[in-house]
Copies of this chain bind each other. A is one copy, B any other.
Amino acid sequence: MGVVIPFEGGEGGCRASLEPLVGLVQADMDRVNEAILARAHSHVELIPELAGHLINSGGKRIRPMLTLAAARMCGYPGEHHLKLATAVEFMHTATLLHDDVVDESDLRRGKEAARVIWGNQASVLVGDYLLGQAFRMMVETGSLEALRILSNAACVIAEGEVLQLSVSQDTSTTEDAYLKVIGAKTAALFAAAAEVGAVVAARPRGEQAALESYGRNLGIAFQLIDDALDYSGSTEKLGKGVGDDFRERKITLPVVLSYRRGTKEERSFWKRTLEQGNQTADDLTYAKKLIERHGAIADTIARADHYGDIARDALAIFPETPWKAALLEAVDFCISRAY
């Protein structure tokens, strides 16, 4: 089983870190950040204004970093990976804008959600604009294969979101069903982001598939840790309100496990709070207690670790380079967030 190896360095002193990856992609990422600002521009002022709010809210931009690092690890010497990375981040931003409308969230990355300031209408439409810009940039690279992969991802993400509408508020959701949701909703874009790095570098199918697998499994691990943090972390660490999933009545893995392992009375509690949406002030505290009682946080992290292992092994076919090491440490970092 994968063990979260404490790394030297970083402010905390002994955590795996995203720093090696951030450092390696820095020069590329500066140009992606410029492109993000340039491409969010429009003569319609509301568009850069609203998009800028989210763009400047300090997301880690892990998805475009995957594209950049994957392309460079594959020896790509050109510039098209910058456009694909920007497109990937725009697809993600568009999803966030639409998500906030769908979830009726008030916070995003610890800031007021765009929909609260500018309204649902503008959030839907600016999301559409960013998605259009993402496709424009893909077209500019001339890579039909990248377009194929990313348009597939766009469909799969939307399917995952719709699936979550029905799964959410069904406490009898199985772990498998839940994994399908996050496989589509989160992991598909991680997978596509990494895969197009190999595509732009014109690497053989095997390397393309390896990066797809790396991205997919990293994405699942990332989401599971997010789920765990929503019941155990701090708002600061999570970049969103702790307990949001509970308040928004989302069924996540900690709940799936606690529900299955719970008593009849406990299941009634989950049904009342998440299915019927009948929540009182103390319910989140009690929910955390139940999740703790059944070891559901520890086991969610263990599951994440399993997918992290698969992500690490997927990269085994690549020669040892600083790029590969940084991508491997990104897996450790992602999981160590839980501690």
A151 / chain B contacts, CB cutoff of 8 Å:
132, 135-136, 138-139
Q: Are A155 and B139 in contact (CB under 8 A)?
A: no
Residue A178 at the chain B interface, CB threshold 8 Å: no
Q: Decide: A161 near B101, CB < 8 A? Known: A147-B147, A152-B136.
A: no
A157 / chain B contacts, CB cutoff of 8 Å:
128, 132
- A 156-197 binary contact with B (CB < 8 Å = 1; else 0): 111101110110000000000000000000000000000000
Q: Decide: A135 near B121, CB < 8 A? Known: A154-B128, A162-B44, A163-B44.
A: no
A46 / chain B contacts, CB cutoff of 8 Å:
162, 165-166
Distance in angstroms between the alpha carbons of A132 and B63 in the assembled complex: 19
Task: List 30 A-B pairs, Cβ < 8 Å.
Answer: A42-B159, A42-B162, A43-B159, A44-B159, A46-B166, A98-B124, A102-B120, A102-B121, A102-B124, A124-B124, A125-B162, A125-B165, A126-B158, A128-B131, A128-B154, A128-B157, A128-B161, A129-B158, A129-B159, A131-B131, A131-B154, A132-B151, A132-B156, A132-B157, A135-B147, A135-B154, A136-B148, A136-B152, A139-B151, A142-B144
- A 76-101 binary contact with B (CB < 8 Å = 1; else 0): 00000000000000000000001001
Residue A133 at the chain B interface, CB threshold 8 Å: yes
Q: Are B44 and A122 in contact (CB under 8 A)?
A: no
Closest chain-B Cβ to A151's Cβ sits at a distance in Å of: 4
Distance in angstroms between the alpha carbons of A199 and B165 in the assembled complex: 39
Q: Which residue of B lies closest to A163 (CB)?
A: B44
Closest chain-B Cβ to A124's Cβ sits at a distance in Å of: 5
Distance in angstroms between the alpha carbons of A138 and B131 in the assembled complex: 15
Interchain residue pairs A-B with the least CB separation, the first 9: A132-B154, A132-B155, A129-B158, A135-B151, A128-B158, A102-B121, A125-B161, A136-B151, A139-B148
Option from B128, B133, B165 in Cβ contact (under 8 Å) with A121: B165
Q: Are A120 and B147 in contact (CB under 8 A)?
A: no
Option from B122, B144, B166 in Cβ contact (under 8 Å) with A139: B144
Distance in angstroms between the alpha carbons of A131 and B125 in the assembled complex: 13
A125 / chain B contacts, CB cutoff of 8 Å:
98, 102, 158, 161-162, 165
Give residues in A with beta carbon < 8 Å to B.
42-44, 46-47, 98, 101-102, 120-122, 124-126, 128-129, 131-133, 135-136, 138-139, 142, 144, 147-148, 151-152, 154-159, 161-163, 165-166
Q: Which residue of B lies closest to A181 (CB)?
A: B44
Find the residue from A47, A125, A148 having the highest chain B CB count within 10 A.
A125
Distance in angstroms between the alpha carbons of A42 and B152 in the assembled complex: 13
Distance in angstroms between the alpha carbons of A42 and B139 in the assembled complex: 26
Closest chain-B Cβ to A139's Cβ sits at a distance in Å of: 5
